[in-house]
């Protein structure tokens, strides 16, 4: 029968990790066994601020690495150049911002994204052109005003534009009312000033029109009274003024007729 060392050596990558997990072993990012005997953090262990089974900076598991730095934030500065990118990324969450500038050029996007989320915005604006969307999304979550506009209106990735739309002021959303992605237009319909919603009643995506129907002033809902999608008409039936609800009482869809009738019969 193979001993433990041989079992972990004859397999690689994920297979090796699965073997280690099955055997209850702690392994580092290269799949090598981890122990406390050669760890430089004896003081942390003795004071209960790290342990092999729960909080260990040498373990490959992100949750253990995070627990280590959470309990020992002062030591995070020492790990910003660690060869394992996840250690660098997690350490960057706890390290002094004064030490993060060099990480803006880190080869791993997750590390750059953490640095971009913590450094002063003027120091990270150039990352709006970063090749990885994770970095640009991190910026889209925190930039404001004119600094946000390139990510909102010009970014080639719809997820970046969507996060930017969620961060934008309602007035800024006017610039993406006609965005190619319907989810972004739905975000516009949820948050733009209601005075601009009539311009979106002709959107070709019914889910965008439904968002419009949920916010449009009741006196303007006649614009969607004959919408071809039952989800839109149902939303209209629940909000339109009673003086204009009669066409929906004869709607071809049962659910729309029922919603309209319930409104019509309410005291």
Q: Are 208 and 189 in contact (CB under 8 A)?
A: yes
Residues 6+ apart with CB under 8 A from 119: 97, 100, 101, 104
Give the residue numbers spanning the domain of 5.
1-33
pTM of the shown model: 0.83
User: Which of 24-28, 49-53, 196-200 has the highest average model confidence (pLDDT)?
Assistant: 196-200
Q: Is residue 245 part of a domain?
A: yes
Q: Assess if residue 180 is contained within a domain.
A: no
User: How far, in Å, CA of 172 to CA of 77, rounded?
Assistant: 38
Residue 243 has pLDDT above 60, yes or no: yes
pLDDT digits (tens, 9 = 90+) for 143-162: 999 999 999 999 999 999 99
Q: Residue 100: its pLDDT value, please?
A: 97
* Residue 185 forms part of a structural domain: no
Complete DSSP assignment for 162-206: HHHHHHS-GGGGGGGTT-SSHHHHHHHHHHS-GGGGGGGTT-SSH
* 250 within some domain: yes
Residue 21 scores a pLDDT above 70: no
Residue 122 has pLDDT above 60, yes or no: yes
For residue 229, is it within any domain? Answer: yes
Any domain includes 207: yes
Position 157 in a domain: no
How confident is the model at residue 13, as a pLDDT?
44
Token pair for residue 202? Answer: 């002709």
pLDDT of residue 11: 34
Q: Report the greatest alpha carbon distance in the chain.
A: 84
What CA–CA distance (Å, rounded) separates 174 from 102?
Answer: 37
Indicate the number of domains in the chain: 2
For residue 133, count other CB atoms closer than 10 A to its CB. Answer: 18
């Amino acid at each position: 029968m193979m001993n433990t060392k041989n079992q972990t050596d004859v397999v690689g990558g994920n297979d090796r990790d699965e073997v280690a997990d099955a055997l209850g072993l702690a392994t580092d990012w290269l799949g090598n066994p981890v122990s406390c005997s050669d760890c430089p953090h004896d003081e942390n262990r003795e004071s209960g601020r790290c342990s092999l089974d729960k909080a260990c900076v040498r373990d490959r598991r992100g949750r253990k690495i995070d627990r280590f730095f959470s309990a020992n934030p002062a030591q995070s500065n020492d790990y910003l150049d660690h060869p394992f990118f996840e250690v660098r990324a997690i350490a960057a969450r706890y390290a002094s911002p004064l030490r993060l500038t060099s990480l803006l050029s880190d080869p791993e996007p997750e590390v750059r994204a953490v640095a971009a989320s913590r450094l002063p915005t003027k120091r990270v604006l150039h990352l709006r052109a970063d090749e990885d969307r994770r970095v640009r999304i991190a910026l889209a979550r925190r930039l404001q005003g004119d600094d946000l506009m390139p990510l909102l209106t010009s970014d080639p990735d719809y997820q970046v534009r969507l996060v930017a739309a969620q961060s934008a002021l309602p007035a800024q959303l006017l610039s993406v009312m006609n965005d190619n992605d319907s989810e972004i237009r739905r975000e516009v319909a949820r948050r733009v000033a209601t005075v601009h919603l009539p311009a979106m009643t002709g959107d070709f995506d019914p889910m965008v029109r439904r968002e419009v129907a949920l916010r449009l002033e009741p006196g303007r809902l006649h614009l969607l009274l004959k919408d071809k999608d039952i989800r839109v008409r149902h939303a209209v039936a629940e909000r339109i003024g009673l003086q204009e609800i009669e066409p929906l009482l004869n709607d071809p869809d049962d659910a729309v007729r029922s919603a309209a009738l319930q409104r019509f019969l309410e005291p």
